Amino acid sequence: MSSSDLGFIHRFIPSRSGQPAPTLLLLHSTGGDENQLLQLGSTLAPDAALLSPRGKVLEGSMPRFFRRLAEGVFDLEDLKARTHELASFVEAASTTYHFDPAGVVAVGYSNGANIAASALLLRPELLAAAVLFHPMVPLEPESTPTLTGRPVFIGAGQFDPMVARAETERLAALLEDAGADVTLHWRPGGHMLIPEEITAAQAWLSQRQIPATASRR
């Protein structure tokens, strides 16, 4: 299904299993769209439903989920507003497509991982878990959220030219301080998403106790 009725151009693909399953919230990188991570989502969790919005901010002609002032310098007010807007979209989509929001797992890459991390920090009730590929610290919340036991996978490149190792470790520490159960997976290489880390994330996700929620009809 594809629609912009909920405020975002997006795709929704129901679970094919017919059994209770999580919903993956797929959040693309700069220049991606609602189709970019569909195959990734199917690989990570073959039975999951897939909800994939297109970022509403344009940088030139490239969609993003929030504005930045320069590379690595975020417009924090826009980021906060866009994070709450995304959360409202997920809540509305759960009603439209009849999935339980208690089983939503964010899967984000680069810009998408950054807004997913922002959602963990600003709207901790939104996500049951998160898979973050090459994220940065999106912001420092005014108060520490409660993420007790929340599973978070962070995939990072040891030689990523866009995200320094210290930045990745700072995000992991920020989430752990909030109580999240963080797995930090390092691999050789840069910012590109490669099969090895997808395989690692898939194995990690298969071992987590994510709420499997039935469709609500």
160 is known as an active-site residue: yes
* Per-residue pLDDT at 20: 75
Of the pLDDT bands very low, low, confident and very high (cuts 50, 70, 90), residue 50 is: very high
* Per-residue pLDDT at 4: 59
Catalytic residue among 52, 110, 118, 134: 110
Burial class (CB in 10 A: 0-12, 13-18, 19+), 105: buried
Q: Is the pLDDT of residue 3 over 80?
A: no
Rounded to an integer, the average pLDDT of 99-124 is 96
Catalytic residue among 160, 181, 185, 206: 160
Q: Is the pLDDT of residue 217 over 90?
A: no
CA distance 160 to 190: 4
Catalytic residue among 78, 84, 88, 191: 191
Q: Which fold has domain 2-206?
A: Rossmann fold (3.40.50)
Closest CA to 154 of 174, 140, 139: 174
Rounded to an integer, the average pLDDT of 38-49 is 96
CA distance 104 to 211: 8
Rounded to an integer, the average pLDDT of 1-20 is 81
Beta strands in 1-146 (DSSP E): 2-3, 10-13, 23-27, 49-53, 57-59, 62-64, 68-70, 73-74, 104-109, 129-133
Q: Is the pLDDT of residue 183 over 80?
A: yes
The residue ranges of every structural domain in the chain are 2-206
28 is known as an active-site residue: no
In the predicted model, what is the mean pLDDT of the chain?
93
Least confident interval from 8-22, 54-68, 101-115, 153-167 = 8-22
End-to-end CA distance of the chain: 17
What are 146-162's pLDDT values in tens digits? 999 999 999 999 999 99
* Per-residue pLDDT at 60: 92
- Measured over the CA atoms of residue 11, residue 17, residue 18 and residue 21, the dihedral's sign is negative
Q: Is the pLDDT of residue 213 over 60?
A: no
Q: Is the pLDDT of residue 145 over 60?
A: yes
Stated pTM of the model = 0.94
Q: Do strands 10-13 and 49-53 pair parallel, antiparallel, or not at all (unpaired)?
A: antiparallel
Least confident interval from 14-23, 28-37, 85-94, 179-188 = 14-23
Q: Is the pLDDT of residue 112 over 70?
A: yes
* Per-residue pLDDT at 2: 52
The set of residues, in sequence order, having a beta carbon less than 8 Å from that of 48 and lying 6+ positions away, is 15, 21, 22, 23, 24, 41, 105
181 is known as an active-site residue: no
